[in-house]
Structure 1
Amino acid sequence: MLPVVWLDDAITDLTTVITFVASENPSAARRLKTRLEAAPLPLTEHPYLYPLGRVPGTRELVAHPNYIIVYRVSSERIEVVNVLHARQEYPLS
């Protein structure tokens, strides 16, 4: 079983998303945070469960209709790289 590690950029992305949602609806922000943090947990046993990402070496998990979690698998761990809004341009050109 590989551990899931959130990289600094992913933590920043998550904080930005939750802060934005909380400014309009704190209750929804709490639910979304719980959902986004829980979404990668099945990867510990099934790291290749989701399709290849747009950036080589990554995979993309649709954690919510509006949010995608970008992650990569190494021999030692699963790294959550980014949390993106589904309409966000990614990768940046």
Structure 2
Amino acid sequence: MPNLDGPDLEWKATAIADLLAIIDYISDDNPDAAQSLKDEIEQKTSRLPEHPQMYRIGRVEGTREMVVRPNYIVVYAESPEIVTILRILHAAQLWP
């Protein structure tokens, strides 16, 4: 039976670890900036199920990329049932 509310949102463990590492790194110098970035990423990703194709096609086949800020990219995959957050990367990082 199709999900009438749209796809669900799932975070892979690697994406959660990425986010925590980024926030930890930034918070060493600026805890407020770290919290602000975390809030922004969580807020923007929470809306992905509403419009999963809004962002560019990813560099890895089957993915899409949402640029949260010029240096931070959310890599995700989408299907009719689920949007899966795969990684949270600094733009200087190579993926996969």
Paired position in structure 2 for 1:5: 10
- Out of 17, 28, 34, the position equivalent to 1:29 is 34
Give the 4+ runs in structure 1 shifted more than 2 A: none
Secondary structure (helix, strand or coil) at the match of 1:71 reads: strand
Of 44, 52, 65 in structure 1, the residue corresponding to residue 49 of structure 2 is 44
| Root mean square deviation, CA, Å | 1.0
Across the two proteins, how many residue pairs are aligned to each other? 91
Aligned equivalents of 1:77, 1:89: Cα separation in 2: 25
More deviation, 40-49/21-30: 40-49
Which has the greater radius of gyration?
2
- Give the Å deviation of 1:41: 2.3
Q: What is the deviation of 1:85?
A: 0.2
Q: Distance in 2 between matches of 1:39 and 1:23?
A: 24
Matching residue's letter, 1:87 = A
Q: Runs of 5+ in structure 1 lacking a partner?
A: none
Contact between 1:36 and 1:64, CA under 8 Å: does it hold in 2? no
Other-structure match for 1:85 = 90
Structure 2: runs of 5+ lacking an equivalent: 1-5
Q: TM-score, with normalisation over the residues of structure 1?
A: 0.91
